[in-house]
A and B are shown apart, each in its own frame.
Chain A
């Protein structure tokens, strides 16, 4: 697979060349693309206008009318009913810990495989690649059973451990291909200075590969944030749920009225949108690096 981690960011904003003829066709094409874009984002727009609409306005105007005034009660009520702050914190702390530990584990593995070139490295790589492809269904029941045995069922710790390993499988695969190309002069220089392997890793390898590690961190964070299947199985009690699980299991709840359901949708979109804006640059680079997932 093509793995290109450090490709310069996608579009450079060079001004278009002076080929702008007044050709009506190009505006037809742009209009068609904008229409397609509108279709793609329409569902999100509809959810947004209904999230801030009162049930009464909804009853009189239907789903497509603009709200005559902004109505925040749906969002506030929903937030309080599911203790959304708590869910946000659960998601944040889980995703953050997984991202940190996952990057750490990937670095250690990739240092041994990519730079150390330990014996049997091809087989280790095949293992991590396969681990990455496995459907979570094939792991879920034993993990569920074992976590119950050791008392980690219904705990964020079990989710952190599991996802650290799963994400690191991807990270190891990606980072090993990056470290294989690591400039040997830098390693030799560290050798000459008498730096041990651990110090070389910490003082030379990690700083040089920081951009790639940033991409991995971003990926691990967002992937873990969006995970649904294993958290659904493991986090059964209300106070342990992450955002996607809390939103997923509330769907179709009879106590939710029409506009409150769209409020819950908006509340779920907002953190994702925030990450998207913060990490957009990293992500554009990273998606290209993330050839496997």
Chain B
């Protein structure tokens, strides 16, 4: 039965969304076709910002960096998290107790709850070239030659950020996958046991197969998070050294608020937005196809 006359309940939500989302979005897209320093006159220049963007090596560099960050924030945590979730759910919980499994899960999840500014303080402190703990540990075990200005040298900065992001992200897939495994019928595992399947066979044939929905959700959400990354870059490296860790959102931020090139910044954020939406559509399609097959 179709219920009627509910539309007035949408009014506050629609008005607020128009004000905070639609109007700014349209303004940014319009601004991306203009030259504007934020205060003076706004001049229409057509596609000039976009042609400039595609010739800008910083822009391409920021997208190469994002590809590596997708590896660190989406691919590695998802695969590692899948494996760890299966070990916790299907091994630790059974051979030890659920309490152990929950304890380990909470521990792995801990970095996820820490505000990004604090993550920056913690890791900036540990990786500091003079007083940081990591270099001290390396020296004390006789690997002093590996000591490094981890975040301060162009050669290692991005890899250091990647390592930190794996640390931040790992807990999310573990929690999601363990929750997904709750709905797996335990009899499936018992049947596999009776057939003499090894743990690894069960992992591949049962676990991975059954939590595909969660797998897609985790992969798409973490990939989008990687594309949007701003806070960790701001607090850890400021995009440096010499743009080695520049990412699109930080690049846009710099153009908006440091260089007063609002039109150019708008073009960068518009491209980023189109990319994110396109990627989401592709993922949703893939997910639907996988669900239909199942």
Tell me the bound Cα distance from A258 to B88 in angstroms. Answer: 38
Q: State which residues 38-89 of B face A: CB under 8 Å.
A: 38, 84, 87-88
Name the distance in Å between A194's Cβ and chain B's nearest Cβ: 15
Name the distance in Å between A42's Cβ and chain B's nearest Cβ: 9
A208 at the interface (CB under 8 A from B): no
Tell me the bound Cα distance from A262 to B124 in angstroms. Answer: 10
Tell me the bound Cα distance from A229 to B17 in angstroms. Answer: 19
A233 at the interface (CB under 8 A from B): yes
Query: Can you name the residue of chain A whose Cβ is closest to the Cβ of B180?
Result: A288
A168, B249: Cβ atoms closer than 8 Å: no
| Complex interface: chain B residues within 8 A of A189 (CB) | none
B25, A63: Cβ atoms closer than 8 Å: no
Query: Can you name the residue of chain A whose Cβ is closest to the Cβ of B257?
Result: A233
Tell me the bound Cα distance from A136 to B231 in angstroms. Answer: 12
B269 is contacted by which of A137, A245, A268 (Cβ under 8 Å)? A137
| Complex interface: chain B residues within 8 A of A29 (CB) | 87, 91-92
Q: Which of B105-113, B142-150, B153-161, B200-208 contacts A (4 or more CB under 8 A)?
A: B105-113
A93 at the interface (CB under 8 A from B): no
Per-residue contact bits, chain A 90-123, to B (CB 8 Å; 1 contact, 0 not): 0000000000000001001101110111110000
Q: State which residues 1-29 of B face A: CB under 8 Å.
A: 1-10, 12-14, 16-17, 19-21, 23-25, 27-28
A166 at the interface (CB under 8 A from B): yes
A72 at the interface (CB under 8 A from B): no
A238 at the interface (CB under 8 A from B): no
Tell me the bound Cα distance from A34 to B101 in angstroms. Answer: 11
A10 is contacted by which of B25, B102, B227 (Cβ under 8 Å)? B102
B115 is contacted by which of A12, A166, A272 (Cβ under 8 Å)? A272
Query: Can you name the residue of chain B whose Cβ is closest to the Cβ of A135?
Result: B228
Tell me the bound Cα distance from A116 to B8 in angstroms. Answer: 10
A5 at the interface (CB under 8 A from B): no
| Complex interface: chain B residues within 8 A of A56 (CB) | none
B3, A116: Cβ atoms closer than 8 Å: yes
A276 at the interface (CB under 8 A from B): yes
B93, A40: Cβ atoms closer than 8 Å: no
A82 at the interface (CB under 8 A from B): no
A41 is contacted by which of B102, B110, B262 (Cβ under 8 Å)? B110
B13, A243: Cβ atoms closer than 8 Å: no
A155 at the interface (CB under 8 A from B): no
| Complex interface: chain B residues within 8 A of A288 (CB) | 175-176, 179-180
Query: Can you name the residue of chain B whose Cβ is closest to the Cβ of A62?
Result: B136
- For A15, A62, A228, which residue has the most chain B Cβ atoms within 10 angstroms? A228
A134 at the interface (CB under 8 A from B): yes
Tell me the bound Cα distance from A292 to B283 in angstroms. Answer: 12
Given the known interface contacts A16-B96, A37-B107, A258-B131, the answer about A118 and B6 at a Cβ–Cβ threshold of 8 Å is: yes
Name the distance in Å between A266's Cβ and chain B's nearest Cβ: 9
| Complex interface: chain B residues within 8 A of A161 (CB) | 16, 20
Majority DSSP secondary structure for residues of B touching A: helix
Interface size, B (range): 35 or more
B242 at the interface (CB under 8 A from A): no
| Complex interface: chain B residues within 8 A of A166 (CB) | 20-21
Given the known interface contacts A142-B27, A166-B20, the answer about A228 and B234 at a Cβ–Cβ threshold of 8 Å is: yes
Tell me the bound Cα distance from A60 to B81 in angstroms. Answer: 40
A232, B234: Cβ atoms closer than 8 Å: yes
| Complex interface: chain B residues within 8 A of A80 (CB) | none
B282 at the interface (CB under 8 A from A): no
| Complex interface: chain B residues within 8 A of A44 (CB) | 110, 114, 122
B224 at the interface (CB under 8 A from A): yes
A131, B31: Cβ atoms closer than 8 Å: no
A139, B28: Cβ atoms closer than 8 Å: yes
Given the known interface contacts A268-B118, A287-B175, the answer about A64 and B140 at a Cβ–Cβ threshold of 8 Å is: yes
B3, A115: Cβ atoms closer than 8 Å: yes
Query: Can you name the residue of chain A whose Cβ is closest to the Cβ of B172?
Result: A287
Q: When A and B form their complex, which 7 residue pairs have the shortest distance between CB atoms, in order from nearest?
A: A116-B6, A268-B118, A142-B24, A248-B117, A142-B27, A112-B9, A244-B117
A-B contact pairs, 14 of them (CB 8 A): A36-B84, A40-B108, A47-B121, A47-B125, A62-B136, A111-B6, A133-B277, A135-B227, A137-B228, A137-B253, A169-B17, A245-B117, A276-B110, A276-B113
Binding site for B on A (CB under 8 A): 1-2, 7-8, 10-17, 19-20, 23, 26, 29-30, 33-34, 36-37, 40-41, 43-44, 46-47, 50, 58, 62-64, 105, 108-109, 111-113, 115-119, 124, 127-128, 130-131, 133-146, 161-162, 164-166, 168-169, 172, 184, 187, 197, 201, 222, 225-226, 228-229, 232-233, 243-245, 247-248, 251-252, 258, 261-262, 264-265, 268-269, 272-273, 275-276, 280, 284, 287-288, 291-293
Binding site for A on B (CB under 8 A): 1-10, 12-14, 16-17, 19-21, 23-25, 27-28, 31, 38, 84, 87-88, 91-102, 104, 106-108, 110-111, 113-118, 120-126, 131-133, 136-137, 140, 167, 170, 172, 175-176, 178-180, 182-183, 213-214, 217, 221, 224, 227-228, 230-231, 234-235, 248-249, 252-253, 256-257, 262, 265-266, 268-270, 272-273, 276-277, 280, 284, 287
A119-B7, A133-B277 given; 10 more Cβ-contact pairs under 8 Å = A1-B287, A2-B217, A10-B178, A16-B97, A36-B84, A44-B122, A118-B7, A141-B24, A141-B31, A264-B121
